[in-house]
Structure 1
């Protein structure tokens, strides 16, 4: 992994402080926690791209019923629905002949990435992943895509953000490949930008891992351990979310649906290669985070060893003077040197010379 410009330790502490994290939004689901019915969205945004090789129109609609006319449209249509409510999703699924099982998956929360083919409709569900800079966390948004002969419908949870801007830009360019392609190429384009965004998130996680390496070396304390554990959970969450996407893309490669043209299959192979690379990098990051925990314990042990070495040296240096002071502190009336005029100073001088001699011997042996 390439080294990057490092932030000061004070900035690292501020970025990776798990005790100041805000609560994640409801869209942040755990792929391993099962599914549940989601809360209805407060607002819905419907955007339609109706296009052909020669023209492209972008329309914002207020009601899902206004999309029904595109079922029999001679042009290709991308219907993007941001915000999910059961009534609207049910109406769209009924009109576009989408199976109730697919409808149930669209409305469910925390689904594992999957791909299905039911009643001449190709369906895939996968996480759209963002990196939250404010909390240094991984945010997941479930995206569902349904493909028919001349349409693609995408269902998103959050109307305020997505990663589809590159697709919108290509649709606005006359003569672009996506304008000359079919619904299968549009579906590929959506999957491609979602998977490409995984690399952006991984790059941010990689930066945090490098920051933590410096933090472990400078501040191996309990707060640093808490930050390592928090980063480990984010990396594991990312890894669990993207792992099934490989099977999803492989489903398109193995599908014999008439909706997929042979010349477009090679593009799905490119997405498959990207998701394999993404999984490999996620495995590397997971190992690096685990190594951070080992590094933390190693640094802690080294710090403890330094402390014990200092204490041992101090104790050893004080042992001879303590012995001499103990001998001359005995309450015997007849002892040599007790009647000496300068005996007290001779004794202190002898203790001092003994300390200097011991320090010289220890330094020569390289003990400290």
Structure 2
């Protein structure tokens, strides 16, 4: 017997606005802080658990990227935000991992919330929120736990490849978002392969119907979750391209427009795959219905064949004394011959009508 699903308990706690409280599922044991400070001529990296070490880089005329892994230790977020003058509502949103992707403008910085997607161990699809704070000479990124999509970007900064170290914090913001979007493309491609695999299994003979149905339901849930994750980013990038903020340099807008084209294409692919899944579900239901119809047709033909035979057997099975055919010497064999002839004639008729 299938165990009953445990009911969730829903409780609302009304806290004052700006209260820093972690809302998430990934409880890190420690909060790790990665600090990358760079310019065209220099590069410096620190890995620490002491947030005070990030305070020394403020106002040093270089770009500082501070990445915080682990949000359950809210005191670190509060200290960092207080030192750099972040609004309490920004700090509250950083600790809340259930936000829809969005962007907020402040006088001295921009605050962006987006969802990071990547495939872990070639199978597991990971969804994680990333909060980005972009100031004049700094970028903060906040994640729930270890593991992200920025390793290639870190390598480019350390080896001085590309133009990252030649430009400011606004370009670093663009490269961070671009890394997230590039992994969207990878995830979407892998998702398309999964749809094709399930589509092939739908047409395979002997496939487990229950397993296929559960796979299609899993694809439906995944595509809806991906859509909720990716779709709002289009609005964010479009907003970034149109705002006039002192942090964003004029040259960066060209890169943002190119990024907008990528996210539009990704959203179009998601909608296409969404339609494919619905079509796949309709196709699967049609195949199941056709198989059921074939079974019902065979059973109907068998029943139709036996109706006249049952009728004849029923007549001669009655217990009347005066039934002349019962006293024929070859009556039993004649009755069998008649029944066999009727059976064969009906089979020939069904074959000619292409019902068999």
Where on the TM-score scale, by shorter chain, does this alignment land: which range? Answer: 0.7 to 0.9
Alpha-carbon displacement from aligned partner over 1:20-52 (angstroms, at most 9, x marks no partner): xxxxxxxxxxxxxxx973266321111111112
Task: Provide the rounded CA distance (Å) in 2 between the counterparts of 1:197 and 1:50.
Answer: 25
Task: Provide the rounded CA distance (Å) in 1 between the counterparts of 2:301 and 2:121.
Answer: 47
- The equivalent residue for 2:241 is 253
Greater RCO structure (CA 8 Å; 6+ sep):
1
Please state how far the C-alpha of 1:125 moved relative to its aligned partner: 0.8
**Counterpart check, 1:105 vs 2:93:** yes
- The equivalent residue for 1:269 is 257
CA contact (8 A) 1:138 1:237 kept: no
**Counterpart check, 1:304 vs 2:292:** yes
Out of 140, 150, 153, the position equivalent to 2:137 is 150
Out of 183, 190, 215, the position equivalent to 2:169 is 183
Task: Provide the rounded CA distance (Å) in 2 between the counterparts of 1:276 and 1:343.
Answer: 83
- The equivalent residue for 2:51 is 64
Alpha-carbon displacement from aligned partner over 1:110-163 (angstroms, at most 9, x marks no partner): 0111111212101111011134668x664321101111111111111112x100
Pair 1:42–1:224, CA change in 2 (3 A)? same
Task: Provide the rounded CA distance (Å) in 2 between the counterparts of 1:133 and 1:82.
Answer: 20
Pair 1:269–1:61, CA change in 2 (3 A)? same
CA contact (8 A) 1:141 1:157 kept: yes
Please state how far the C-alpha of 1:296 moved relative to its aligned partner: 2.5
TM normalised by structure 1 equals 0.85
**Counterpart check, 1:208 vs 2:204:** no
The DSSP-based 3-state class of the residue aligned with 2:297 is helix
Structure 2: unaligned runs, 5 residues or longer: 4-19
- The equivalent residue for 1:355 is 343
- The equivalent residue for 2:10 is none
Out of 24, 36, 43, the position equivalent to 1:49 is 36
The DSSP-based 3-state class of the residue aligned with 1:143 is strand
The DSSP-based 3-state class of the residue aligned with 1:244 is helix
Alpha-carbon displacement from aligned partner over 1:255-290 (angstroms, at most 9, x marks no partner): 211111111111011111111111111112222222
- The equivalent residue for 1:199 is 185
CA contact (8 A) 2:101 2:113 kept: yes
Out of 61, 76, 84, the position equivalent to 2:63 is 76
CA contact (8 A) 2:22 2:74 kept: no
Out of 306, 321, 329, the position equivalent to 1:318 is 306
- The equivalent residue for 1:170 is 156
